[in-house]
């Protein structure tokens, strides 16, 4: 453990904590570096300097704040919290992320808010006194710059508030939409959790919500953070330098600011993975990490560089004449939608390593910039224009410069050639482009930064909503088609099942009808009680009730089988099948028939009359209904001449009466059975329709919410467009009027 940096006595943990504070807001200010340099005598070990470089480079193995804090002794805390707060204020902006880090440190060290606030006030006074002593210089000097920036600042203050209100409206709209998405998902989950189709709808909604949170809410949060970051630059005109590693961005930065980015310790600080900021009399210059770096962190560097775009009023993209490839300009695609003013700085590299080469260059410096002949730069310019136009747009300037010559003009050893080197560098051409951007176009570009870019940010969720509306419309149509298909399947299954049931009942009753002739022959002399007993026995012998019950069960099973695939498709087979209970179709075994008395017909011949009184689905048992026959036979000796004639008459009468009653019962049972089967099929259809209607209602609800959100966003975009249009008109007329909300 003795070799571990965590326990090494040679590590200055307080100094490393200050380094973390500099990186807290994801950017490094020139004043922070200067203050850290003043404290650099504390970094009295190579080990501390190496660890500091790891923090600036965001090396995966660097010591984290959580680890460092534990090694700060109680006796060090008071002085260190003072230095941390001074560092947080030295750039004139106490950033939110810096506040968070200090709050975290104070909580671990058990510092009260009052104690931290007292030290914070002292830090503010220190920062103010320090700022008053600093004499800053830059090549961007002159009263016209100062006046232009002040004018731009006034516009920026108004536009920031105008855009802030638009963000508030957008945030409210999107939060309401997000809440409504959650509500609909919850309701559909609770009501339709057992259905595959319901799960499809829930998945669609959940996917939308995840997409909404990932693509819209998080992006809007980042845009809001960027917008809030602009607040610290309201009084500045911001120029951001971008380009691949070693193209000359930092050199250009130091030339213009006349303030080098000296490293601390072993000089590895140029590996920093943060944007570097310099501010001078309302001009803000940002040096970004390399675009498309060859190492594994290249993509992160691009994201870091891109994070500053919204704050920039002008982007200076640095390229060199020794490597102009299309891939070098791919990054501009990410800036295209921002439509920021772009100046391509073509850094001409030329060897001036010895006095002989230098003197040769100074004799004819224009030769390097010639646009005619074989060695001209016209080929480079043409390639740049072609690549940039493909990845960005057609509105940009290309300014050739020689940064090495400009850099040498500031070196003490080249003071005798200072003016020649400066002029030969053509750096003034770039400064003139900046001057034009600021003085002629500064006001409208500030509005573009605050209003124009905000419009683009709000149009993103608007576009997402449009796409989602179309997706839900398509999904809703799919559900309606599926609903109609299943509805037709049920109608067909109902027809088939009812036809099957009717045929089965007819077959069963035909068997009963076939027994009547023989039954009448066998029992024509029987009395009422004996006849009824025999008829009931006959019904039992052919298993009439059981067979009718089975026919109902088979009809229901047929219905189930025919709609089985449809039920599977919506995933509610088990739930609906449980409702297809054949018990609902069972014949009631209670004897609910009214057995009527015998009625005389003709000369006293007793006829059989029975009544069928249905109850429920099929209320009365068939045995009771058809067995309710009263038969009385009076001998009519005066009317019949022989016993054979009497038998014939009695048999005919019994057959006629029984056949009439059986056919009547058959019709009644068929009608009632089919009616109940149809009713049940209709209930199943209603249940499924209700299921689909609930889902479609949820989709329709979401579509309505999306429509409302889109209307609200459209109104916000229109609000911003009106403000931006007003700024454009005023700028074109060289007038100014306050921008009213």
How do residues 601-660 score in pLDDT, each as one tens digit? 222 222 332 322 232 333 344 444 454 443 333 434 444 447 788 888 888 988 898 899
Which residue, chain included where needed, has tokens 């009317």?
639
How do residues 186-195 score in pLDDT, each as one tens digit? 877 777 656 6
Its pTM stands at 0.65
Burial 658-690 (b: 16+ CB within 10 A, else e): beebbeebbebbbebbbebbeebbeebbeebee
Range from 101-110, 133-142, 300-309, 607-616 carrying the lowest mean pLDDT: 607-616
* Residue 7 phi, psi dihedral angles, 5° rounding: -120, 5
Res 494: pLDDT: 94
Q: Half-sphere exposure of residue 72, counting CA atoms within 13 Å on the CB side?
A: 21
How do residues 31-53 score in pLDDT, each as one tens digit? 888 888 887 766 667 888 888 88
Asked if residue 300 has pLDDT above 90, the reply is no
Structure-model confidence comparison of residues 357 and 1, the more confident one: 357
Q: Are 273 and 55 contacting, i.e. CB atoms less than 8 angstroms apart?
A: no
How do residues 207-264 score in pLDDT, each as one tens digit? 777 777 777 777 677 667 667 767 777 888 888 898 888 888 888 888 887 765 544 4
**How many other CB atoms are there within 10 angstroms of residue 501's CB atom?**
25
Res 499: pLDDT: 96
Q: Are 253 and 289 contacting, i.e. CB atoms less than 8 angstroms apart?
A: no
Res 478: pLDDT: 86
253-to-250, 282, 293 alpha-carbon distances in Å: 5, 16, 19
Res 514: pLDDT: 94
Range from 12-26, 343-357, 363-377 carrying the lowest mean pLDDT: 363-377
Torsion of CA 153, 158, 731, 334, to 10 degrees: 80
The DSSP H or E segment spanning 342 is strand 342-347
Res 222: pLDDT: 67
Q: Are 409 and 418 contacting, i.e. CB atoms less than 8 angstroms apart?
A: yes
Q: How far apart are CA 333 and CA 340, in angstroms?
A: 12
Secondary structure (3-state) at 445? helix
Q: How far apart are CA 110 and CA 101, in angstroms?
A: 14
Tell me how far the alpha carbon of residue 135 is from its chain's centroid.
50
* Residue 599 phi, psi dihedral angles, 5° rounding: -115, 140
How do residues 134-156 score in pLDDT, each as one tens digit? 555 566 667 777 788 888 888 88
Asked if residue 21 has pLDDT above 70, the reply is yes
- To the nearest whole number, what is the mean pLDDT of the chain? 78
Secondary structure (3-state) at 462? helix
Asked if residue 580 has pLDDT above 70, the reply is no
Res 587: pLDDT: 30
Which residue, chain included where needed, has tokens 């940009």?
396
- Parallel/antiparallel/unpaired status of strands 275-280 and 283-287: antiparallel
Res 33: pLDDT: 82
Res 588: pLDDT: 32
Q: Half-sphere exposure of residue 456, counting CA atoms within 13 Å on the CB side?
A: 14
Asked if residue 729 has pLDDT above 60, the reply is yes
Res 726: pLDDT: 92
Range from 55-69, 419-433, 606-620 carrying the lowest mean pLDDT: 606-620
Q: How far apart are CA 693 and CA 154, in angstroms?
A: 56
Helix, strand, coil percent values for the chain (each to nearest 5) = 70, 5, 25
The share of the chain scoring above pLDDT 70, in percent, equals: 81
Res 128: pLDDT: 72
Q: How far apart are CA 581 and CA 584, in angstroms?
A: 6
**Which residues have C-beta within 8 Å of that of residue 401, sequence separation ≥ 6?**
252, 345, 346, 347, 348, 425, 426, 427, 429, 430
Q: How far apart are CA 264 and CA 34, in angstroms?
A: 10
Q: Mean pLDDT, to the nearest integer, of 472-491?
A: 89
Model confidence band, residue 269 (pLDDT cutoffs 50, 70, 90): very low
Burial zone of 589 (CB within 10 Å; 0-12 exposed, 13-18 middle, 19+ buried): exposed
Q: What are the strands of the beta sheet with 342-347, ordered from one edge?
A: 27-29, 275-280, 283-287, 237-243, 314-320, 342-347, 396-401
Res 294: pLDDT: 41
Please give the angle made by the CA atoms of 389, 394 and 396, to the nearest 5 degrees. 100
Q: How far apart are CA 238 and CA 618, in angstroms?
A: 89
Res 625: pLDDT: 46
Tell me how far the alpha carbon of residue 592 is from its chain's centroid.
65
456-to-304, 333, 339 alpha-carbon distances in Å: 20, 15, 10
Q: Mean pLDDT, to the nearest integer, of 406-416?
A: 84
Q: Are 190 and 137 contacting, i.e. CB atoms less than 8 angstroms apart?
A: no
Q: Are 618 and 587 contacting, i.e. CB atoms less than 8 angstroms apart?
A: yes
Query: Nearest to residue 81, comparing CAs of 111, 51, 60?
Result: 111
Tell me how far the alpha carbon of residue 22 is from its chain's centroid.
33
Res 722: pLDDT: 93
Res 491: pLDDT: 93
Q: Are 278 and 209 contacting, i.e. CB atoms less than 8 angstroms apart?
A: no
Res 193: pLDDT: 56
Res 589: pLDDT: 27
Res 270: pLDDT: 46
Res 497: pLDDT: 94
Q: Mean pLDDT, to the nearest integer, of 256-285?
A: 65
Q: Mean pLDDT, to the nearest integer, of 421-426?
A: 90
Highest mean pLDDT among 91-95, 318-322, 586-590, 725-729: 725-729
How do residues 441-463 score in pLDDT, each as one tens digit? 888 888 888 888 788 778 888 88
Model confidence band, residue 721 (pLDDT cutoffs 50, 70, 90): very high
Res 132: pLDDT: 56
């Amino acid at each position: 453990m003795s070799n571990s940096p965590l326990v090494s006595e040679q590590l200055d943990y307080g100094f490393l904590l200050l380094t973390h504070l500099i990186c807290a807001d994801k950017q490094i200010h020139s004043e922070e570096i200067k203050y850290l340099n003043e404290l650099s005598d504390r970094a009295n070990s190579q080990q501390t300097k190496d660890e500091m470089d790891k923090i600036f480079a965001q090396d995966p193995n660097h010591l984290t704040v959580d680890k460092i804090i534990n090694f700060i002794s109680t006796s060090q805390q008071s002085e260190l919290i003072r230095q941390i707060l001074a560092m947080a204020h030295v750039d004139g902006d106490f950033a939110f992320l810096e506040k968070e880090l200090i709050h975290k440190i104070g909580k671990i060290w058990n510092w009260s808010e009052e104690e931290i606030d007292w030290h914070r006030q002292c830090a503010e006074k220190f920062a103010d006194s320090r700022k008053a002593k600093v004499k800053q210089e830059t090549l961007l000097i002159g009263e016209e710059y100062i006046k232009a920036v002040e004018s731009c600042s006034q516009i920026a203050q108004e536009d920031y508030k105008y855009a802030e209100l638009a963000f508030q409206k957008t945030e409210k709209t999107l939060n309401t939409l997000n809440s409504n998405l959650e509500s609909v998902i919850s309701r559909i989950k609770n009501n339709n959790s057992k259905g595959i189709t319901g799960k499809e709808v829930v998945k669609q909604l959940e996917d939308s919500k995840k997409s909404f949170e990932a693509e819209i809410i998080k992006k809007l949060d980042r845009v809001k953070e960027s917008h809030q970051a602009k607040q610290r630059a309201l009084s500045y005109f911001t120029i951001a330098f971008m380009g691949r590693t070693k193209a000359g961005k930092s050199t250009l930065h130091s030339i213009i600011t006349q303030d080098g980015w000296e490293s601390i310790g072993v000089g590895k600080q140029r590996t920093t993975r943060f944007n570097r900021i310099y501010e001078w009399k309302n001009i803000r210059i940002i040096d970004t990490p390399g675009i498309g770096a060859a190492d594994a962190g290249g993509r992160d560097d691009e994201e870091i560089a891109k994070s500053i775009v919204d704050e920039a009023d002008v982007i200076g993209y640095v390229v060199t004449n020794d490597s102009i490839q299309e891939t070098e300009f791919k990054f501009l695609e990410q800036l295209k939608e921002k439509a920021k003013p772009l100046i391509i700085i073509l850094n001409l590299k030329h060897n001036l390593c010895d006095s002989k080469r230098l003197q040769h260059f100074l004799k004819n410096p224009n030769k390097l910039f010639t646009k005619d002949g074989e060695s001209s730069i016209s080929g480079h310019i043409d390639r740049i224009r072609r690549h940039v136009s493909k990845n960005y747009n057609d509105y940009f300037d290309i300014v050739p410069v020689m940064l090495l010559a400009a850099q040498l003009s500031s070196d003490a050893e080249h003071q005798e050639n200072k003016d020649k080197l400066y002029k030969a560098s053509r750096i003034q051409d770039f400064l003139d482009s900046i001057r034009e951007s600021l003085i002629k176009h500064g006001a409208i570009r500030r509005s573009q930064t605050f209003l124009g870019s905000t419009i683009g940010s709000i149009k993103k969720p608007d576009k997402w909503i449009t796409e989602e509306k179309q997706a839900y419309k398509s999904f809703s149509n799919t559900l309606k088609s599926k609903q109609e298909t299943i509805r037709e399947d049920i109608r067909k299954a109902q027809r088939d099942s009812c036809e099957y049931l009717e045929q089965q009942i007819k077959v069963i009753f035909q068997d009963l009808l076939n027994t009547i002739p023989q039954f009448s022959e066998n029992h024509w002399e029987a009395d009422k009680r004996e006849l009824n007993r025999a008829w009931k026995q006959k019904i039992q012998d052919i298993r009439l009730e059981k067979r009718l019950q089975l026919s109902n069960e088979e009809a229901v099973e047929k219905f189930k089988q025919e709609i089985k695939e449809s039920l599977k498709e919506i995933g509610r087979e088990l739930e609906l099948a449980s409702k297809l209970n054949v018990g609902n179709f069972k014949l009631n075994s209670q004897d609910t028939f009214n057995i009527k008395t015998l009625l005389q017909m003709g000369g006293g011949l007793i006829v059989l009359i029975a009544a069928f009184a249905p109850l429920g689905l099929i209320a009365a048992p068939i045995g009771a209904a058809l067995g309710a026959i009263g038969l009385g036979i009076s001998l009519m000796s005066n009317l019949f001449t022989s016993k054979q004639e009497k038998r014939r008459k009695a048999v005919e009468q019994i057959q006629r009466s029984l056949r009439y009653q059986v056919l009547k019962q058959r019709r009644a049972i068929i009608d009632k059975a089919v009616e109940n089967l149809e009713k049940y099929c209709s209930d199943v259809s209603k249940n499924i329709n209700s299921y689909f209607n609930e889902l479609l209602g949820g989709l329709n609800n979401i579509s309505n919410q999306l429509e409302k959100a889109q209307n609200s966003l459209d109104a916000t975009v229109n609000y911003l467009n009106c403000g931006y249009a007003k700024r454009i008109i005023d700028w074109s007329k060289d007038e100014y009027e306050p921008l009213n909300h």
